[in-house]
Chains A and B, each alone.
Chain A
Amino acid sequence: MSDLQIIQSALERAANRHRWSRAFRGLWHGLLFGAIISLVLLAAHRIFPVPDWFMVATPLVPLPCMLAGLIMGGWRKPGPSETARWLDSRTHLEERLSTALELSASSRETAWRQLVINDAATRAKDIDPRSLMPFHLPRATRWALLVLALVAGLGFVPEYRSRNYRQKQSDEQRIKEVGQRLTELTKRNLEKRPPALEQTQKSLEAVEDLGQKLSRANLTRSDALKDLASVSDKLQKQLQDLSKDPSLKSMERVARASTGSDSQTAAGLQKQIDSLQKQAGESSSTPEKLDQLKKDLEKLQQAAKGLADKSSPAADAERRKLADSLSAMSREAQDMGVQLPQLDEAIEALAANQTDLFMKELDASLMDLDKLREMSRTLQQLQQQAQKLGKDLAEQLANGQPELAQATLQKMIQQLQAANLSPEQLKKILEDVSKAIQPAGDYGKVAQHLKESTRQMQAGDKAGAAKSLADAEKELAELMKQLGDAETLMAELNALSQASMCVGTGQGWGACKKPGTRPGGKPGPGVGTWADDNAAWGGEMTEHGDNSTLLRPDLAPRGLTEREQADTKDVLKPTKVKGQFSPGGQMPSITLKGVSIKGQSQVEFQEATTAAQSEAESALSQEKVPRVYQESVRDYFDDLKK
């Protein structure tokens, strides 16, 4: 091996060793760097309301940093010149290697070149890169371990979150839940009752979009309320537009006045009645008579219990008396057409002094009576419903049974189109249609089509009459669809209203009940909100509905406040206002409890009222407060100023 090769070999070994040494140091420096980042991330997560990925990233960061340090450290292999200079410096070779390397690059062979290379090679033989650069843990390792220990310690420290932040988080959670529910409800509505009008479809899609937005974006309470109010306003406007249609208005009126039996056709009702009559047999009993019979039997049962263990002559006489009464009842039941075989068996058991068997048979008879009574009651209701069904087209339209009217119209069309229509049948149809013209006035152009049909039938134009009737039927179907749209919009408005209330009060979807009325026209669980013009209960106020004067200890706000009732300032006490729902009049009787506040107030009373007044003025200016309440709201805050 020549002198130059010896030098180059030594430089190569030193360069490799140096590369690995730097990679090794880079590894530990990477760990230190990663540990510091972890510490910063964790500390930030503990102190500030940063996203949760900070916490997730904390244990993961050091590993890639170590890897990056290793790669960066060992990325570049030092060149021979650099290595030679470094070796000169490290081994005190006084620039022998670097000078030799530089001279070796020269092609000119000189005595000095050989002398210098020879001298450097002699020194290079003794170079041991391992002893020059031993692998040992750098000082950074100790710091890295210290920082990691700090990270581990900090992991046990609970995170600090301000009250406002927790409240905000809770609000966001609620808003998301509300958004999900709103989306689900809207989807269900869209599936169940696909809207007929494009505008309604768009509105429902807007509600669905809003629900999705609420469920995905992190909105503040005010933003969410603003969005909800905006979409509500849109729906409200559309509903108002729909309600301007007089035909729809009248349809809604007759639908409200009707018993809602329109959904069941006459044929369906008759089928149910027949089925029940078949089950009840030849019974001509009424529920009241069956009730009386049951009461008598119960009395006898009580009397029989008293004679259970007695065997005196008086008791025997009593049993005979009971048996006679039972026999009379059995006959009475048979007269009503009610079959009670257990009653006869009970009489026999009583005669045989088998009290237990008697009681058992009597219980069975009572149960049979219950079933019969229920069946009789259902039958009675169905018969009442059947009586209310319109018998002809006029009655059906007058009763607000458009589906039945549609069926009748279809039947008439088929008859008119039939070839063998007799003059009597035509006359009958003409009479029915003529009679229906007046009640059809509430159904848009239906009356017009019926009138046209009448004229055509009188003229003997059966085909034209059938077409006019088909137009009437089509118009009716169209109105039905629009009414369905209005109902869908109403349902959506209710859902939006509930969503607003949930967001406003910070309650879950299930916890906050929508205001307004319950099915059946009864008062709902809450009153209207400022944002909802129609949320107020619009039903007739009865003494059952008006509970403002009732003292309900079970509903007293126990636990809602830590302050004693006596400590409450007068201005903060619930205010009861009585009145009627009419513009300009007094407010209805409502107990305004306000938002429950726990703990001590953090702001001055004046500050709170000023803020509330500002919000109220804003709501008034944006017409978010129903007109009925606007004056009262102004008065309330004017009073507070005093």
Chain B
Amino acid sequence: MALDLAGEERGAAPTARVRALTRLDDRPRMRRTKIALGALVCLGAVLVGCLVGPAGLSVSGVLLELLDAVPGVEVDSGMSLTQQAIFWEIRLPRVVLGVLVGAMLAVAGTAYQGVFRNPLADPYLLGVSSGAALGATLGIVAGGTIGPVGIPLLAFVGGLIGVAATYALGSSVGGGRGAVVIVLAGVAVGAFFNAIQNFVQQRYDDSLLSVYSWMLGRLSTDGWSDVVIALPYVVVSCAVILLHRRVLDVMAVGDVEAASLGVDPARVRLVLVLTATLGTAAVVSVSGLIGFVGIVVPHAVRLLFGAAHHTLLPLALLLGAAFLVLADVVARTALTPAEVPIGVVTALVGAPFFLVVLRRSKGAL
């Protein structure tokens, strides 16, 4: 009897250990399930985006057409040449652009919120938006000579100048006060650039409508050129941010504790803000200022799937892409043949959705 008891006692610790290790094994699997779910939602959104439109394309046609594009596979999708052209030159580029823009804005928003520990931080926080808006406005006002190629370029350059000014200003007066000063500098730079932009806009009121439509954001149907412009920036930027997923978790405990855990907070902030900004500037230059994605998607993911960045970042990427593609579907179908600016849709659809998530989770932000 006594022996048995002793045996039981000795057995207890290893059992607990095995149980703990099993639970540990569950963790990555659960994470993979979540990410797979996100990928599925994203693919579904892409498919919907390809299917919906004035020219009706069939599901099987689209799938077979995609399969046909795989090198070495020859299948007949049964689509007419016109349908094929619509799919390859109009639908797909627009959907892919939506994926890039949505993913970039959501990932950049997550990164900004992480490094600034501020739930209200969004990709436009540090003057990207006002800088890009000023650049685009100048391009639009200058008219024909600069044209459709020049406007994205000017927007891109304007966005980078905006952030560079913010960072230079913030770190010159910061004196080690870090995040808060940089955010405040962003507010100041934004106000300054907005003032110039408003002034220019008012002087050339004949271009008001174009400027306005650019600011509200839209995804173009000009074939693959915009995708080609944005793609490299988005890939590099998202990859760098995803590699920092563990570091972003560490940043959440504050600069002092993060530093004591072996992370250099100022350096991480600089690297992540620069890459996130570069990507954001690239997508803003081709899509205009699409609001709400960068702030709603990360928070919704956080509330639904947890705040740890190893899950949060990939899910924000996938669901941000899905969200923007679906918003774009609404934007081009709601008032056919007219298009609703996509920025209006993201806010109109996103705000109620976000409120529902907020209510259901009942968690604090």
A-B complex is real? no
> Could you list which residues of chain A lie within 8 angstroms of chain B, going by C-beta atoms?
none
